[in-house]
Structure 1
Amino acid sequence: MMKAGALLTGLTFAIASSGESRDEQEHACRGDAFHFCASVIPNKEKITACMKQHYDQLSPPCKAMFDPPPKPDSKS
């Protein structure tokens, strides 16, 4: 249960959204965080990095909490 509390604290600070409540952030991303990033809980910086690495795999509600990753520059 301690990991769950640490996760919720980490997610609250890790998500790069503006205007979303803490409850909305936690609800949207809890399952994804446990699924993709359980090994890095409770480190909020690592949770953030992990969630961003899995951006394309996140559930739509969680994905909405993050800014999309930048598109690769098409110039070669």
Structure 2
Amino acid sequence: MKPDATRSRTSASRASMASALGLCLALATTAFARADIATPEQKRACTPDVYRLCAGEIPNVRAITACLRRQKANLSDACRAVFEQ
């Protein structure tokens, strides 16, 4: 594999991870009107579900949040709890 291709994949992977973490921040403000940022626990709870259920929506944070809400029945217990609080 060419070094440029490897670098490009690494950059895309980092961008996806940043988007998922951004989503967790959005979840905190959407799910918890009283909170300004997601807690580390909220991030840990929902990031795997973003990749599992809504990866096609990355990097659109609003679309990811809407996707997770639509997928509520399929969320992990931990992420579902974030949306139910």
Smaller-chain TM-score bracket: 0.7 to 0.9
For 1:53, the equivalent position in structure 2 comes to 70
Q: Which runs of 5+ in 1 are unaligned?
A: 69-76
Runs (4+) off by over 2 Å:
17-22
**Distance in 2 between residues matched to 1:67 and 1:43, nearest whole Å:** 22
Give the alignment of 1:22-41 within 5 angstroms. Answer: 22-41=39-58
Q: Say yes or no: does 1:2 pair with 2:19.
A: no
> Hey, which of these two has a bigger chunk of helix by percent?
2
- TM norm structure 1: 0.77
Identity of matched residues, %: 31
TM-superposed CA distance for 1:37, in Å, is 0.5
Report the TM-score, using the length of structure 2 for normalisation: 0.69
- Shift of the alpha carbon at 1:5? 1.0
Aligned alpha-carbon RMSD (Å): 2.0
Distance 1:21 1:11, change over 3 A: closer
Equivalent residues, number: 68
Which structure's CA Rg is the greater one? 2
Query: Does structure 2 retain, via aligned residues, the 8 Å contact 1:41–1:47?
Result: yes
Bigger RCO (CA 8 Å, 6+ sep): 1
2:9 aligns with none
> What runs of 5+ residues in structure 2 fail to find an aligned partner?
1-13
Q: CA deviation at 1:21?
A: 4.4
